[in-house]
Structure 1
Amino acid sequence: MKLDRTDRKILSILQENNKIPNIELASEVGLSPPACLKRVKHLRESGIIVRDVSLIDPVLAGNKLTMIVSVEMERDRKDIYQLFQRSIQKAPEVTECYQTTGSYDFMLIVCVEDILAYEKFLERVLRADPNIRKFQSSVSIRRIKYATAIDV
């Protein structure tokens, strides 16, 4: 789907505040409310807008520890990667997972309450997987930038 300037403006606004009333959104992008609603509906149906969520402060929610974990698999096989990906999808501590190039196969962002919770995650998910050759954990000291909005 080709996005025009109006679609891009709608997406930029919705990434900052997806609870904006349609009448306000329409006014900001220069459309009638019905035309704006039709565009937003089309952006959702076409899969450009994936979902609407609330962003939670992990520290205030009790997850004070963020770990960045690099994972190297034992073998470079599709079936092994798929098993790992299914395992990670089920782990609520993993907030982000990326398959990467380079020395490691996957990069995880893991948010937990404390080091004991992280150790439980390691035992249950990473150390229990016989297809993981090794993993490396780094503790995030502080979050410098966190954004969910992309440049459209």
Structure 2
Amino acid sequence: MQLDRIDRRILIKLQHNNRIANIDLAAEVGLSPPACLKRVKRLRDEGVIVGDKSLLNPELIGNKLTLIVSVEMDRDRGDIYQQFRKSVMQTPEVTQCYQISGSYDFMLIVCVADIQTYETFVERSLRSDFNIRKFHTAVCMRTVKFSTEYHFAE
């Protein structure tokens, strides 16, 4: 799908505030409200916009600990990777998962209340998976930047 200048402006505005009224969004991007609504619908229908979420402050809901976990699988096989991806999708402590290249196969972002909760996660999700060769955990000391917004190259 080709995104034109107006599509990109709509997406930038919606990334910043997806609760903006259509009439206000239309005015900010220079369209009539019906034309703007039609474009937003097309962006949703074509899968450019995949959802609308409320971003939560993890500390205020009790998830005070963020960990970055690198996972190396025992063997380089598609079925093993698929099984791991499926299990990660069912694991609420994992907020992000990336299949990566390099020394490790997956990078997980894990958010939990405390180290004991993380230990429970490790026993249940990592140590019980016999296809995992090893994993390495880094504890986040401070969040320097967190964004869900994507930049558009001009």
Q: Counterpart in 2 of 1:113?
A: 113
Q: Counterpart in 2 of 1:136?
A: 136
Query: Structure 2: 5+ residue runs without aligned partners?
Result: none
Deviation at 1:84, TM superposition (A): 0.4
Deviation at 1:54, TM superposition (A): 0.4
Deviation at 1:97, TM superposition (A): 0.3
Q: Counterpart in 1 of 2:76?
A: 76
Q: Which one-letter code corresponds to 1:47 in the other structure?
A: G
Q: Counterpart in 2 of 1:14?
A: 14
Number of aligned residue pairs? 152
Deviation at 1:41, TM superposition (A): 0.2
Q: Counterpart in 2 of 1:88?
A: 88
Q: Distance in 1 between matches of 2:142 and 2:109?
A: 13
Deviation at 1:13, TM superposition (A): 0.2
Q: Distance in 2 between matches of 1:35 and 1:86?
A: 40
Q: Distance in 1 between matches of 2:9 and 2:27?
A: 12
Secondary structure of the structure 1 residue equivalent to 2:67: strand
- Quote the sequence identity (%): 64
CA displacement, residues 81-111 of structure 1 (integer Å, 9 cap, x when unaligned)? 0010011000000000000000000000000
Q: Counterpart in 1 of 2:41?
A: 41
TM-score, with length taken from structure 2: 0.98
Q: Which one-letter code corresponds to 1:26 in the other structure?
A: A
Q: Which one-letter code corresponds to 1:88 in the other structure?
A: V
Deviation at 1:68, TM superposition (A): 0.3
RMSD between aligned residues: 0.4
Query: Structure 1: 5+ residue runs without aligned partners?
Result: none
Secondary structure of the structure 1 residue equivalent to 2:60: coil
Q: Distance in 2 between matches of 1:140 and 1:151?
A: 25
